[in-house]
């Protein structure tokens, strides 16, 4: 069977995924890491009044065309405006954020003035019309689209909603994700390791990444390689969870056995993806068309492969399922170009996701070097890397100094 390019696997997967149907309305401080379920339009102008960008004096420019001295007749503070009206030859002391008094058309910064007793202010420069005034609606206009449906609510978007006085917003529910690891050889941390056994790494990695994606997690633990136990757990997941993520049991040899169980319960594709690490990957739906369906992701067993396929395939799929919009999904994995500091090993045929470290060299240019041995069972070097070096399927070995694509890790791997 020919290997499936990663972009094609992604496209096929995204086409089959439903969008969330239910929404709930929550107070802003309960919305961190949720996805917005409706477009938000601004109910007000921000700022809602003309105000000063500087500490200084609010003036009428035409007064200073004739002379360089004005009489200070009052003060305007942020939150405590000056309520009078300016007559010819007058100015008002003003602070940053304070309302511009009626009749004023510029603010002169304090540093460009001198005081000379009796409330007389001398202006060293002639101001320009409108200088240092922040205009109504300059930041956000009333009625303007502020955040599109599908935006991630985080530290850059939630304060924006707060600045508009929006106290609650409709959001999509958190995804309920069941996780399990498969393999007779697996042992949970905290238990002694007997001969031929290994510790379960993948459930740890998957759980941590799901937590960052704000999913609700149902942990089914480790499953032995037993079809009856598999079947029971998969049926349970179909009832309890929106998504089931497993690891192991999808590679050649084992796939037949998982396949038999899954084919009884739903429609699952076992892919061989042209990527390294991470070739085997299963995707589909548990449950029949007209019943509740649970999305299934079967990650490969090797820990690096499990992590990389989760990041490259499950991450965008989960983002889509959670209601995130296309531009926000695209932002999750942005590419840059860097020069490889050393030669890179690469065989033609599969797209490589090598673990690398990128940095700016002494000339300020981006450079990258691989970290550790690139085997899919070598997990220990991951923490020293800060990006994937993404090498095209058709590309062969890379010489030192050649340009390569890098994908800096997002918060999922930090
Ligand atoms: P499999 O895909 O089940 O054939 O597993 C491939 C390799 O990954 C084998 O060496 C497994 O022992 C190993 N492996 C599978 N699951 C895990 C896990 N949860 N943690 C660490 N290694 C695993
Ligand atoms: Mg296995």
- pLDDT for residue 2: 85
- Token match 């480790």: residue? 222
Instruction: Check whether 35 has a pLDDT greater than 70.
Output: yes
Give the mean pLDDT of the chain: 95
- pLDDT for residue 256: 65
Q: For ligand 1, say whether the CB of 356 is within 6 Å of any of its atoms.
A: no
Residues 6+ apart with CB under 8 A from 206: 179, 245, 247, 299, 306, 310
- pLDDT for residue 229: 94
Q: For ligand 1, say whether the CB of 300 is within 6 Å of any of its atoms.
A: yes
- pLDDT for residue 262: 87
- Token match 């809602």: residue? 48
133, 100 Cβ separation under 8 angstroms: yes
- pLDDT for residue 220: 98
Q: For ligand 1, say whether the CB of 254 is within 6 Å of any of its atoms.
A: yes
| Across 91-105, 254-268, 304-318, least confident range | 254-268
353, 406 Cβ separation under 8 angstroms: no
| Across 43-52, 244-253, 256-265, least confident range | 256-265
Q: Give per-residue pLDDT as tens, 47-85.
A: 999 999 999 999 999 999 889 999 999 999 999 999 998
- pLDDT for residue 255: 61
Handedness of CA 141, 143, 144, 146 (dihedral sign): positive
Pocket test for ligand 1, best of 182, 198, 250 (most atoms within 8 A of CB): 198
State the distance from the centre of ligand 1 to the C-alpha of 394, rounded, in angstroms.
28
- pLDDT for residue 374: 82
State the distance from the centre of ligand 2 to the C-alpha of 180, rounded, in angstroms.
12
Give the tokens for residue 191.
């238990």
Q: For ligand 1, say whether the CB of 201 is within 6 Å of any of its atoms.
A: yes
The 3 state secondary structure assigned to the chain is CCCECHHHHHHHHHHHCCCCCCCEEEEHHHCCCCEECCCEECCCCECCCCEECCCEEEECCCHHHHCCEEEEEEEEECCECCCCCCCCCEEEEECCCCECCCCCCEEEEHHHEEECCCCEEEECCCCCCCCCEECCCCCECCCCEEECCCCECCCCCHHHHHHCCCCEEEECCCCEEEEEEECCCEECCCCCCCCCCEECCHHHHHHHHHHHCCCEEEEEEEECCCHHHHHHHHHHHHHHCCEEEEECCCCCCCHHHHHHHHHHHEEEEEEEECEECCCEEEEEEECCCCCCCEEEEEECCCHHHHHHHHHHHHHHHHHHHCCCCHHHHHHHCCCEEEEECCCECCCCCCEEEEEEEEEECCCCCEEEEECCCCCCCCCCCHHHCCEEEEECCCCCCECCCCEEEEEECCHHHC
Q: For ligand 1, say whether the CB of 247 is within 6 Å of any of its atoms.
A: yes
Q: Give per-residue pLDDT as tens, 322-341.
A: 999 999 999 999 999 999 99
- Rounded Cα gap, residues 228 and 253, in angstroms: 18
Q: How confident is the model at residue 373 (pLDDT cuts 50, 70, 90)?
A: confident
Instruction: Check whether 170 has a pLDDT greater than 90.
Output: yes
Atom of ligand 1 nearest to the CA of 181: 19
Residues 6+ apart with CB under 8 A from 46: 137, 138, 139, 140, 163, 164
Q: What is the mean pLDDT of residues 355-366?
A: 97
Q: For ligand 1, say whether the CB of 273 is within 6 Å of any of its atoms.
A: no
Q: How confident is the model at residue 261 (pLDDT cuts 50, 70, 90)?
A: confident
Q: For ligand 1, say whether the CB of 101 is within 6 Å of any of its atoms.
A: no
Pocket test for ligand 1, best of 255, 302, 375 (most atoms within 8 A of CB): 302
Adjacent-strand bridge partners of 154 = none
- pLDDT for residue 117: 83
Q: Give per-residue pLDDT as tens, 174-206.
A: 999 999 999 999 999 999 999 999 999 999 999
State the distance from the centre of ligand 2 to the C-alpha of 258, rounded, in angstroms.
10
State the distance from the centre of ligand 1 to the C-alpha of 357, rounded, in angstroms.
26
State the distance from the centre of ligand 2 to the C-alpha of 231, rounded, in angstroms.
16
138, 47 Cβ separation under 8 angstroms: yes
Q: What radius of gyration do the chain's Cα atoms show?
A: 30
- Token match 């500091």: residue? 341
- Rounded Cα gap, residues 85 and 98, in angstroms: 15
- Rounded Cα gap, residues 298 and 287, in angstroms: 16
State the distance from the centre of ligand 1 to the C-alpha of 376, rounded, in angstroms.
10
Other C-beta atoms lying within 10 Å of the C-beta of residue 324? 24
- Rounded Cα gap, residues 401 and 122, in angstroms: 61
Query: Quick one: which of 227, 231, 313 has its CA closest to 266?
Result: 231
Instruction: Check whether 260 has a pLDDT greater than 90.
Output: no
Q: Give per-residue pLDDT as tens, 9-34.
A: 999 999 999 999 999 999 999 999 99
Q: How confident is the model at residue 254 (pLDDT cuts 50, 70, 90)?
A: low
353, 312 Cβ separation under 8 angstroms: yes
- pLDDT for residue 251: 81
């Amino acid at each position: 069977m020919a290997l499936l390019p990663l972009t094609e696997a992604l496209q096929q997967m995204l086409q089959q995924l439903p969008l969330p149907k239910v929404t709930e309305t929550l107070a802003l401080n309960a919305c961190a890491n949720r996805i917005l379920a409706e477009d938000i339009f601004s109910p007000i102008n921000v700022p809602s009044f003309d105000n000063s960008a500087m500490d200084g004096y609010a003036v009428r420019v035409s007064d200073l065309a004739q002379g360089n001295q004005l009489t200070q007749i009052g003060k305007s503070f942020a939150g405590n405006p000056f309520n009078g009206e300016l007559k010819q030859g007058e100015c008002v002391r003003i602070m940053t954020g304070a309302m511009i008094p009626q009749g004023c058309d510029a603010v002169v910064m304090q540093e460009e003035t001198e005081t000379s007793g009796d409330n007389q202010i001398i202006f060293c420069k002639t101001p320009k019309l409108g200088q240092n005034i922040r205009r109504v609606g300059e930041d956000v206009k009333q009625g303007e689209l502020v955040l599109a449906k599908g935006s991630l609510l985080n530290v850059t978007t939630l304060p924006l909603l707060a600045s508009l006085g929006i106290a609650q917003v409709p959001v999509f529910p958190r995804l309920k994700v069941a996780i399990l690891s498969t393999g007779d050889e697996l042992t949970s941390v905290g238990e002694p390791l007997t001969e031929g056994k290994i510790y379960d790494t993948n459930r740890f990695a998957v759980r941590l990444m799901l937590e960052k994606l704000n999913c609700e997690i149902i942990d089914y633990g480790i499953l032995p390689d037993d079809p009856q136990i598999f079947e029971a757990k998969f049926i349970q997941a179909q009832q309890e969870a929106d998504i089931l993520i497993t690891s192991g049991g999808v590679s050649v040899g084992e796939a037949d056995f998982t396949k038999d169980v899954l084919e009884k319960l739903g429609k699952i594709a076992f892919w061989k993806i042209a990527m390294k690490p991470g070739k085997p990957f299963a995707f589909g739906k548990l449950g029949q068309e007209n019943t509740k369906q649970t999305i299934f992701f079967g990650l490969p067993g090797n820990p690096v492969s499990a992590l990389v396929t989760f990041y490259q395939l499950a991450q965008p799929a989960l983002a889509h399922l959670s209601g995130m919009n296309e531009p926000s999904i695209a932002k999750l994995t942005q590419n840059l170009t860097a020069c490889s500091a050393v030669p890179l090993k690469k065989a033609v045929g599969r797209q490589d996701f090598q673990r690398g470290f990128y940095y700016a060299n002494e000339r300020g240019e981006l450079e990258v070097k691989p970290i550790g041995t690139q085997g899919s069972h070598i997990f220990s070097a991951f923490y020293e890397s800060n990006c994937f070096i993404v090498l095209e399927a058709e590309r062969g070995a890379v010489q030192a100094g050649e340009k390569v694509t890098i994908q800096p890790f997002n918060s999922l791997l930090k």
